[in-house]
Chain A
Amino acid sequence: MPLPFERPIEDLEAKIRDMQAYSAEQEIDLTDEVTALQTRLDRLKKDTFENLTRWQRVQVARAPGRPTGLDYLTHAFEGFQELHGDRTLGDDPAMVTGLAELGGRQVVVVAQQKGRDTKENITRNFGMSHPSGYRKAMRMFDLADKFRLPVVCLIDTPGAYPGLAAEEQGQAWVIAESIRRMSRLQVPAISVVIGEGGSGGALAIGVANRVLILENSIYSVISPESCAAILWRDAGEAERAAEALRLTARDLIELDVVDRIIDEPLGGAHNGRDEAMANVKRVLIEELEALVGLSSAELIERRYDRFRALGRFSLAA
């Protein structure tokens, strides 16, 4: 299923396929025509994807087929060993954690996991964690510190789950604790927003030395739909809210919320999964390399400085 704005691209691709089939069937040489259409297709893709509105990027960030946490863990990382459970209440399928290697270096991984189809989405609660998910993440941070392993977090959630049990079990408390736990990590930590960075539920695993974001990912204080419902009393105004919230990678690098943008192939990560995952892997290895030589004190201090500096204000009039 193409995204709404991808339809012209899809149509043109279909046309090219038809022409190629016709040419083969009728044994007519249509090379020039096909080449011309191909050029047009490339230009159309480029025009579309280089000029996405913020709302369109929200759609790409949530697109079916976009690589999820587990896709990265099994393709960009090697030897992924999943470790389950929060040792208190249960195991949260919306938060996948464990051990993996990255370019030969052993790391601890924490990844938010949306479903790749409807059935999995229900199991994974659409990537919305309960408190147990954040407690599991904190267990991993403890392991990382104890065994001196760097931490890589993959952020992809609409937000922490706003449900009855989640509230009873202290959703706010575990998010706050996870933020604090990450800020205390004695080992290098890198977070990558691979899809949707939804509010506090995303930040809970985002207090890293370096925060990276894929080109078409978003990171926001509130979803455009909820923002619209509050400010315009109409969730249908989500497009307007997305524009107002400045939630794209390019916006966020200007605000210093993220440190580096990772390129996606033309057409978005959902249309070039392997390339997107390879890009993430390459950048992660490079970023990790730059951090592993630092002392615990330096890592904590740099994390402090990074987050302490965020915000924009002026001297009072």
Chain B
Amino acid sequence: MALERLFRRNRPTRKEDDNSPAGLWLKCDACNAQIYRKDLVANLHVCPECSHHYRMPVDARIAMLADEGTFVQWSGGIQADDPLEFVDTQSYAERMEKNRQKHGRPDAIVTGGALMGGHSVGLVVMDFFFLGGSMGSVVGEEIALAAERSAQEGRALVAITASGGARMQEGALSLMQMAKTTVALERLAARRLPYISVLTDPTTGGVTASFATLGDVIFAEPKALVSFAGPRVIQQTIRQDLPEGFQRSEFLLQKGMIDDVVHRRELKTRVADVLRALMAGLQEPTTEAVRAAAV
């Protein structure tokens, strides 16, 4: 026992939203290459050797997408209740308090306004490290608020999804967030404002079956798991092995479910290009404007 403890103390500690041991080097999960930790971070949390896309901390994601100094946070004003007084191995209230402390935000999402390649956008970024990015009342509300505010301010909406799905601990209320986020997107559609969703590893369950797959254009990062039912559930149902690459981005592209698989390095440019193209038709001067200008 004592020996074990001694060893454990020497083991590097590891933060959940940290892809690397506290040491300077880490071994890539995908290609086993030794990577210098600073290189990984500098390379947008993508392995410099094999391009394996690691799950990305929210702050780094925002820094990578928003034009420098333009991000203004909208989310953070609300926090979860415990409407079911849900207790599993610990109470939901405790679980949330721990997560809030650890991650320094009220729930599994950050939203805000920003410029992206010069385009005015609302930005929604899910935090998988916060309770699996699960969607309860707060996550749903923040998305709905971001969609409505973007519509009101004439911004496009860009959502970066990462979630295990609806949050069990809020029961049917979590399920209803699928409808809530979906109806809120209608405000953007009514104003012909683009909504781009970017599926990152992993995006599953109720998030996939609602706002995540309703983008006017849907991109996914390489090899991201994107599914309705998780691979284990499917395996239990059909009792056979799943084909190689099943439910990964490349597979979904082949099946016609997404517009493209985009390397993280290209992501900002690709989203900005699509926004520009989609809005080009609407920004053309109207006949009235041309006539007015001629007068």
Contact = CB atoms under 8 A, between A and B. Distances in A.
B234 A245 contact: no
B174 A221 contact: yes
A279 B285 CA distance: 58
Nearest to B79: A316
B186 A175 contact: no
Contact of B255 (A170, A310, A316): A170
Contacts, number: 189
A161 B209 CA distance: 13
A176 B234 contact: no
Interface in B190-243: 205-206, 208-214, 226-229, 233-234, 237-238, 242
Given A172-B228, A175-B209, A316 B78 contact: yes
A163 B136 CA distance: 26
B234 to A, nearest CB: 5
Interface in B142-190: 144, 166-168, 170-180, 182-186
Contact of A167 (B86, B140, B206, B234): B234
A173 B27 CA distance: 36
B173 A312 contact: yes
Nearest to B185: A180
Contacts of B171: 220-221, 245-247, 251, 255
Contact of A171 (B137, B167, B228): B228
Chain A: number of interface residues, binned into ranges = 35 or more
Given A176-B211, A221-B171, A316 B229 contact: no
A236 B176 CA distance: 27
Given A162-B229, A172-B213, A316-B76, A167 B172 contact: no
A314 B78 contact: yes
Contacts of A175: 209-210, 228
Interface in A261-314: 303-304, 307-308, 310-314
B106 to A, nearest CB: 5
B100 to A, nearest CB: 8
Contacts of A21: none
A258 to B, nearest CB: 9
A95 to B, nearest CB: 16
Contact of B168 (A183, A227, A252): A227
Nearest to B227: A167
B206 A200 contact: yes
A216 B271 CA distance: 48
A183 B228 contact: no
Nearest to A237: B88
A171 B173 contact: no
A138 interface: no
Contact of B83 (A220, A230, A312, A316): A312
B234 A163 contact: yes
A5 interface: no
A3 interface: no
A247 B64 CA distance: 42
B80 interface: yes
A313 B88 contact: no
A307 B168 contact: no
B89 interface: yes
Contacts of B175: 199-200, 203, 219-221, 257
A160 B237 CA distance: 12
13 contacts: A162-B234, A163-B234, A171-B229, A176-B182, A179-B209, A220-B175, A221-B171, A221-B172, A251-B171, A255-B172, A304-B183, A308-B184, A312-B80
Given A168-B255, A311-B137, A311-B138, 15 more contacts: A160-B228, A175-B210, A184-B186, A200-B228, A220-B171, A230-B168, A244-B86, A255-B173, A257-B172, A257-B173, A257-B175, A303-B183, A312-B81, A312-B173, A313-B137
